[in-house]
């Protein structure tokens, strides 16, 4: 890698910062005891996360949502292209329009588009086409993938590993929200084209997920699910 940008190839710009220059990275080494303790506590806190479909309308501190989005935006990404946009939807009218359009698509899906096998897999979750969480939950975050970079003059440049990058970022967002005391639902209305129109996003962006955020309703219940044990999901060789 060249040490400075002068003769560095620039073909995939724009970049943020100067990845051709390296800077020291010396995070303080955490003592093993503390590491074990942190990991064990984190594991249990994360295990307490549940997807919530019934939300209280109580407001959440908006800054928590911004901070969680800032956490998500620290995710690693292909070629550090950071191919994501997080839209924090506050306007109740816009939320109402998103709900209406999502319910329209979901109704078609639940009425048969998903197919019998998929509908059977969803049945135990009790989901249906009614998406009241989109207007009940006080926060709504819509995540878009930037499928490619689009310059102001219309120039397009390929983005790499977009699904992986945005998937990781959304995982970090859900973790940050949970660890900040909020509950969320990851919702993937399909097809999602309407979101680009309703939220007036550019042509290079494709909706990835709609995430209502808030506190569980007082009478909220969740399915009695059991997670796979570590033995079932991990192989050590
Ligand atoms: N997108 C639909 C259906 C749905 C699909 C899966 I996979 C789920 O885990 C839950 C729901 C909906 O949001 O209702």
Kindly indicate the confidence band of residue 13, based on its pLDDT and cuts at 50, 70 and 90: low
Give the residue from 162, 160, 159, 133 showing the smallest Cα distance to 145. Answer: 162
Residue range(s) defining the domain that contains residue 163: 70-218
d(CA 133, CA 55): 6
User: Distance, CA 117 to ligand 1 centroid (Å)?
Assistant: 13
**Of 36-40, 81-85, 125-129, which range is least confident?**
125-129
- Is residue 60, in this structure, part of any structural domain at all? no
Which long-range contacts (C-beta less than 8 Å, at least 24 apart) are formed by 171-176?
172/71, 172/72, 172/74, 172/75, 173/68, 173/69, 173/71, 173/72, 173/86, 173/141, 173/143, 173/211, 174/49, 174/211, 175/46, 175/49, 175/71, 176/67, 176/68, 176/71, 176/72
188 C-beta closer than 6 A to ligand 1? yes
What's 109's domain CATH number?
3.40.109.10
Residue 66: what pLDDT? 98
Indicate the pTM of the whole model.
0.91
Kindly indicate the confidence band of residue 4, based on its pLDDT and cuts at 50, 70 and 90: very low
Give the residue from 93, 107, 105, 112 showing the smallest Cα distance to 189. Answer: 105
- Is residue 182, in this structure, part of any structural domain at all? yes
- Is residue 115, in this structure, part of any structural domain at all? yes
Q: Report the half-sphere exposure of 81 (CA within 13 A, side-chain side).
A: 22
- Is residue 50, in this structure, part of any structural domain at all? no
**Of 127-131, 198-202, 217-221, which range is least confident?**
127-131
Residue 192: what pLDDT? 87
Residue 8: what pLDDT? 47
187 C-beta closer than 6 A to ligand 1? yes
Kindly indicate the confidence band of residue 12, based on its pLDDT and cuts at 50, 70 and 90: low
- Is residue 57, in this structure, part of any structural domain at all? no
Pocket test for ligand 1, best of 51, 107, 188 (most atoms within 8 A of CB): 188
Kindly indicate the confidence band of residue 75, based on its pLDDT and cuts at 50, 70 and 90: very high
Residue 180: what pLDDT? 98
User: Distance, CA 63 to ligand 1 centroid (Å)?
Assistant: 29
For residue 15, pLDDT beyond 90: no
In the chain, the number of structural domains is: 1
Atom 6 (ligand 1) nearest CA: 122
Give the residue from 89, 210, 97 showing the smallest Cα distance to 139. Answer: 89
- Is residue 156, in this structure, part of any structural domain at all? yes
Q: H or E element: which one contains 206?
A: strand 205-214
């Amino acid at each position: 890698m060249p040490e400075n940008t002068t003769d560095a190839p620039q073909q995939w710009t724009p970049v943020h910062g100067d990845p051709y220059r390296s800077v020291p990275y010396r995070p303080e080494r955490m003592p093993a005891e503390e590491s074990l303790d942190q990991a064990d506590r984190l594991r249990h806190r994360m295990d307490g996360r549940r997807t919530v479909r019934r939300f209280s309308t109580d407001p959440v501190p908006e800054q928590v949502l911004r901070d969680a989005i800032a956490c998500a935006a620290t995710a690693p990404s292909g070629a550090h292209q950071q191919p994501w946009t997080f839209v924090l939807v506050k306007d109740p009218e816009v939320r109402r329009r998103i709900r209406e359009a999502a319910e329209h698509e979901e109704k078609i899906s639940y009425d048969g588009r998903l197919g019998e096998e998929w509908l059977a897999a969803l049945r135990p979750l009790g989901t249906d086409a009614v998406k009241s969480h989109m207007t009940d939950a006080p926060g709504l975050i819509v995540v878009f993938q930037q499928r490619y970079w689009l310059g102001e003059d219309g120039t397009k440049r390929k983005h790499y590993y977009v699904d992986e990058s945005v998937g990781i970022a959304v995982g970090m967002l859900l973790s940050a929200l949970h660890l900040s005391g909020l509950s969320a639902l990851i919702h993937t209305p399909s097809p999602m084209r309407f979101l680009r129109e309703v939220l007036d996003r550019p042509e290079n962006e494709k909706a990835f997920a709609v995430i209502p955020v808030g506190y569980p309703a007082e009478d909220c219940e969740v399915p009695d699910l059991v997670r796979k044990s570590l033995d079932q999901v991990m192989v050590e060789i």
